[in-house]
Amino acid sequence: MKLGDWVSLLCFLAATYILWQIRPLLLLFFAAVVIAIALNSLTNQIRKFNVPRRVAIPIAIGISILVAALFILGIVPPFVEQFRLLVDLLVSFSQTLPARIAELQANLPERIRLPEVNEFIDWLSAPDSAVLDVFSNFFSFVNSSLRVALQTLFVVVLALMMLTNPSAYLEGILLLFPSFYRQRAREIFGICELALGNWLAGIIISSIFVFTCSFVGLLFLGVDLAFAHALLAGILNFIPNLGPTLSMGFPLVVALLAEEPWKAIAVIILYVIIQQIESYWVTPTIMAHQVSLLPAFTLIAQIFFASIFGFLGLLLALPLTVVAKTWLQELLIKDVLNHWELAPNSRFQQAKLALEAQVTPIQPKISSNSPDSTQLPTQSSPETAHPKMREP
């Protein structure tokens, strides 16, 4: 390798290391891009009424703020109240758990009693147990809340900056590509924007469907705190595969606390039916133009991005997968693999020609009675079969 090649390799390794170190910042930037795309789609819908862009952007931002305010004022207070009652129920259940375990142990035969159950009861009943330590770490909770608030503010401000002049930011990113590929990269970015917009619209409609069905079903079953459970199911629907399973835990616990076993079974059946309808009918219908993702690839992507970026990577796993799949399909498959040509004198080209020579085409049968027919040789000579073996 030449000196320039070594310098290029070292620069590439240094850039990779820097990107790896700032990966949380890159994920926040991607979240801002998703929000900017959502606001830009709303802006484009407003511009269809012959509204200039400089006027449509404030209108789109105002509509978003109005929706967020209605969500906070109309949904968050009852959700917080019902969630507080849910926490009280869980705390009361944890307080009665030692007595229930002791009663269960007393009813068990002597030979199957577990000696460590008593230690578990003492651990739960101790005033300085680890259960109480979880609620006593107040400063850690405040620190985490402040960090989340600052990250949210950073994402929102960055999204608004990109919304004002998205073409300038796109041109800056395109400078990282070779000059001959910048126009093609612009097209791929457009495809990614369309795919992310379709995904966002589809997941919102799907979450509203899950919330409505869960709320009506839990009200019909008579499960307490139905609104909080349904809202939690709609929010967790943004996390495929894992979200529906997590959302079923809270109403299942409340149904078990009601001491009516049939309600717990009915809650499981209700959530399974809702998820089957959402997965096999609602999602394929409303996301007909979205980039299709196989369930196995979605689960692998969730594990991969969660291991790299943590919980935020789990939340953004699906849009990250949509963008990655678009770039792999357009760049790697369409632009590279579909146009891959072998060198004329390479070993792979020689092997390909040898393989094609072994496949003899089927000759059509020609009747001997036809006046234009010529008699085909029944056995080829060595010179005819292998022209390279002819003697001079």
Residue 132's pLDDT is 45
Model confidence at 345, in pLDDT bands (50, 70, 90)?
Answer: low
Poorest-pLDDT segment among 70-74, 131-135, 225-229: 131-135
pLDDT of residue 134: 44
Provide long-range contacts, Cβ within 8 A and 24+ apart, for 153-162: 154/28, 154/32, 155/28, 155/31, 155/32, 155/35, 156/32, 156/35, 158/28, 158/29, 158/32, 159/32, 159/33, 159/35, 159/36, 159/39, 160/36, 160/39, 160/61, 162/32, 162/33, 162/36
More confident residue, 109 or 296: 296
The share of the chain scoring above pLDDT 90, in percent, equals 2
Higher model confidence: residue 335 or residue 245? 335
- The neighbour count for residue 323, using CB atoms within 10 Å, is 23
Residue 141 reports pLDDT greater than 50: yes
Look up residue 387 and give its DSSP letter.
G
pLDDT, tens only, 199-233: 888 888 888 888 899 899 988 888 877 887 888 88
3-state helix, strand, coil in the chain (%, to 5): 80, 0, 20
* Full 3-state SS string of 67-131: HHHHHHHHCHHHHHHHHHHHHHHHHHHHHHHHHHHHHHHHHCCHHHCCCCHHHHHHHHHCCCCHH
Please answer whether residues 30 and 151 qualify as being in contact, where contact means their C-beta atoms are separated by less than 8 angstroms.
no
Predicted local distance difference test score (pLDDT) of residue 45? 85
pLDDT tens digit sequence for 175-197:
888 888 889 999 999 888 888 88
User: Where residue 244 falls among pLDDT bands split at 50, 70, 90?
Assistant: confident
Inform me whether the pLDDT recorded for 370 exceeds 70. Answer: no
Average pLDDT, the chain: 75
pLDDT on residue 221: 87
User: What pLDDT score was predicted for residue 131?
Assistant: 44
Report pLDDT for 115: 47
This prediction's pTM: 0.66
